[in-house]
Structure 1
Amino acid sequence: MASRAVPEQPIVVGGKPKNGQADGRNRRVLGDIGNLVPAAEGKVSKTNITRPVTRNFTAQLLANAQAAAEKNNTKKPLRVAGVPSGRDVKKQETMVGISPEEEAKLAKNLEKKATISKRTGTGKSLTSTLSARSKAACGITKKPVELVVDIDAADVSNELAAVEYVEDIYKFYKMSENEYRVHDYMSTQPEINSKMRAILVDWLIEVHRKFELMPETLYLSINIVDRFLSVKAVPRKELQLVGISSMLIACKYEEIWAPEVQDFLAISDNAYVREQMLLMEKAILGKLEWYMTVPTPYVFLARYIKASVPTDQEMENMTFFFAELGVTHYSTSIFYCPSKLAASSVYAARCTLKKSPFWSETLKHHTGYVEDELTDCAKLLVSYHLGASESRLKAVYKKYSSPDKGAVALFRPAKTLQTKQAAGSV
């Protein structure tokens, strides 16, 4: 088609017409520059365009830049934004163009697939498909996230529960438990060994049950005994006197109606007189500097049993059974801190009662221990359970074999925590 003739325009240099004309409205209309060719039906179609001169020039620029970068000891080759590398240029030069018929056929197929995907709802991107397969392979989709249970929700209206401060209280307990923790002291006791200490604690558990005292009193009594023996060498004949004097102090600290001095003398078969017991009480308080507020295992047991949801009386009895076995034996009472002994007792109880899971996210959150940290101590506790019926120390076994304690001592020990050799009788 013929085009209208356009008068030749003056050459503009620096934005102003050279021949004095003010505007450049009468510019030459752009015509065919050779990038379009007419099709058979008179339509315009695209053809493969190659610009070897431009691409060679671009590659030359990149080669010069890389040479300069290597000269300046640059490790990575320099790439200019929007400028392809020499490899990309060669790749582009070898690309084969698509004919109009193939392009139309390809577009029709893509449109058909999109329609089918919309109808069936099966259209997914490659990224989402690969992500789903990766999650399935790792087991992520099969394992839902376990939430931490709010164990204090039911006690919000209970002022004695101190829900607002309970988390801070137990953080303080965990921080301070090592300050007054008793370490191995048997090497400083010339006349006392770990078996004698176990016999004393076993007897104190019987006395505690006879007097129907609070559980806090038992754990504080054992703590006072260990702390005093760690700083004072005691003759063998006075070991029982240390035990009843320690329980007298603990009763005055914990009980509302504490047994009297004469009650402790009578239960010890009057092996000592009143003056001896009062002198020993004074000596213990002096050595311990009257400090009785210590985080015993009971402090942590009360919290960790509550975190063992869902909890019941059987779970509570089983946990206390393992805890008392632990404090009776010197190895677990001394070499494991109170919080770990309490957590291990809960873990051993859950394994014995086959609670699933053995260790939950709620317990992990409130105790601060993962399952692997409790395995060694829990195995010791289960070994004590295995030998409890044949041991000479019968107080804990008899106590928790009674119906009022659910007869939890008669349960089969946890197979998952049993070792090849059970602990021997003491």
Structure 2
Amino acid sequence: MMLRSRSNNAMNIAANQPKEGGANVHIKRTKKPTEEDTINEPKAKRAALSDLSNAISNVLIDSTKKILPFDKSVPVPTRRVSKRLSNVKEEIKKELEGEIAVEANGQPVENPCPSYNYDKEQATDLLSFSEFAFDIFCYFRSRESEFAVGNYLKRQPQLNHDARATLVDWMVEIQETFELNHETLYLGVKLVDIYCDKVKVVIEKDNLQLIACAAMLVASKFDERSPPLIDDFIYIAGQIFSREDMMQMEMELLDVVDFDLGAPLSYSYVRRYARVTKTDMATLTLSRYILETSLMFFDLNRMSESLLASAAFMLASSMKNSESVAEWSPVLHKYTGYTRKDVEPVMWMVNHMMHVSRQQKFRKNNTVYSKYSHEVFFEVALTPFLIDKFAPSAPIQVPCLEP
């Protein structure tokens, strides 16, 4: 704002002063300032900024000076990195990208598809991150063991499979209500499992919704451009807890998970598999439906995310084929790191899980089914399953997991 001159200010003050002897006082208006008055007005200055400019201009940079040598005696803080990262990355690199795919019994096995390189094809697409995509998924694979979830249901007497399934079904409703990214949902469920596995106290059943809301809030802050507010979660939970409770739980959850939110997600893997195989959107959506249904089944969420995504992708391709189990192409072998022998047993267990999810006792948790029955998702939930190789009452168990 331009400063006024002393003369103009005096005129304004005099004009605004009431005259003696009556209320009907005519206020004299000041004349419009002329160009001469404007020129004579003092200009605003930023002395500090001008002084700083002068100081910088007077500095002489001596390019002949050398940088002091690095003092190796001073410890440098480093991030916690997996001890197995380098070994696993090298192993996956041989398996997926190099001339050697795997080493079986000490003998090198050739790359199953050396002539195909999806990332090289996408080099001109800046949004595909083709230069870094391989390293990113190598890093994800190397960290899966760090986010493995133990069988915490044995240590939490008030929790069981049904309570967890109902909670996850409600978290899917939250994701739909706020129109959150699917990655937010998967990370939220993962944070709930990690928290329940690592926390030292007994979790009360009444606190499950509070834990789920805190997990979805943290996941939203991690993945969303515009995350929901704390008050939004309080409202959707029926105001069963206060704002202070929510903030306290958020801090406690972050402390328990050690502020590490970069968990590998099966959703990310299945999108990668669909891209490298150039699969149509309907098959990818069916894979997503299978994975989202698996979120409600505890044992499946304890296994490797990349292997679960591979099984879901194989099952979706087989359901689209409807006649036989889909082939596991050399491209899938190359980019998943799994052979058909690795994936097919898990696929049949996931297929059994889909049959179980439609049983009467699970019909109350039908949010995922209703969601993917919509035409927006190609009505993939109406796709027939493969014939179940297990008895209807058979438990859902993954052979590679410890009880």
Q: Which position in structure 1 is the counterpart of 2:132?
A: 165
What is the aligned-residue RMSD (CA, Å)? 2.1
Q: Which position in structure 2 is the counterpart of 1:54?
A: none
Q: Which position in structure 2 is the counterpart of 1:422?
A: 392
**Which one-letter code corresponds to 1:261 in the other structure?**
I
Q: Which position in structure 2 is the counterpart of 1:203?
A: 170
* 2:249 is aligned with 1:288: no
- Structure 1 residue corresponding to 2:280, chosen from 290, 303, 312: 312
Q: Distance in 2 between matches of 1:192 and 1:181?
A: 19
Q: Bigger radius of gyration, 1 or 2?
A: 1
Q: Deviations over 1:6-62 (max 9, x none)?
A: xxxxxxxxxxxxxxxxxxxxxxxxxxxxxxxxxxxxxxxxxxxxxxxxxxxxxxxxx
Q: Distance in 2 between matches of 1:195 and 1:152?
A: 42
> Aligned residue pairs: how many?
278
Q: Which position in structure 1 is the counterpart of 2:231?
A: 262
Q: Deviations over 1:44-103 (max 9, x none)?
A: xxxxxxxxxxxxxxxxxxxxxxxxxxxxxxxxxxxxxxxxxxxxxxxxxxxxxxxxxxxx
Q: Distance in 1 between matches of 2:305 and 2:132?
A: 21
Q: Which position in structure 2 is the counterpart of 1:178?
A: 145
Offset, 1:311 = 0.8
* 2:394 is aligned with 1:394: no
Offset, 1:347 = 0.8
TM-score (norm 2): 0.65
Q: Which position in structure 2 is the counterpart of 1:412?
A: 384
- Structure 2 residue corresponding to 1:241, chosen from 210, 229, 239: 210
Q: Distance in 1 between matches of 2:124 and 2:225?
A: 25
Offset, 1:173 = 1.3
* 2:118 is aligned with 1:151: yes
Alignment CA distance shift 1:279-1:413 (3 Å): same
Q: Which position in structure 2 is the counterpart of 1:116?
A: none
Alignment CA distance shift 1:363-1:267 (3 Å): same
Q: Distance in 1 between matches of 2:248 and 2:143?
A: 30
**Which one-letter code corresponds to 2:237 in the other structure?**
S
Name stretches of at least 5 consecutive residues in structure 1 with no aligned partner. 1-144
Q: Which position in structure 1 is the counterpart of 2:33?
A: none
Offset, 1:154 = 4.5
**Which one-letter code corresponds to 1:366 in the other structure?**
Y
Alignment CA distance shift 1:290-1:146 (3 Å): closer
1:66-81 matches, within 5 Å, as none
Offset, 1:312 = 1.0
Offset, 1:393 = 1.5
SS at the partner of 1:292?
coil
- Structure 1 residue corresponding to 2:185, chosen from 204, 218, 228: 218
**Which one-letter code corresponds to 2:305 in the other structure?**
P
Q: Deviations over 1:295-331 (max 9, x none)?
A: 1212212212213x24111111100011111121001
Alignment CA distance shift 1:424-1:204 (3 Å): farther
**Which one-letter code corresponds to 2:253 in the other structure?**
I
Offset, 1:160 = 3.2
SS at the partner of 2:321?
coil
Aligned 8 A contact 2:270 2:284 in 1: no
- Structure 2 residue corresponding to 1:360, chosen from 324, 329, 332: 329
1:100-115 matches, within 5 Å, as none
**Which one-letter code corresponds to 1:167 in the other structure?**
F
Aligned 8 A contact 1:148 1:365 in 2: no
Alignment CA distance shift 1:160-1:383 (3 Å): same
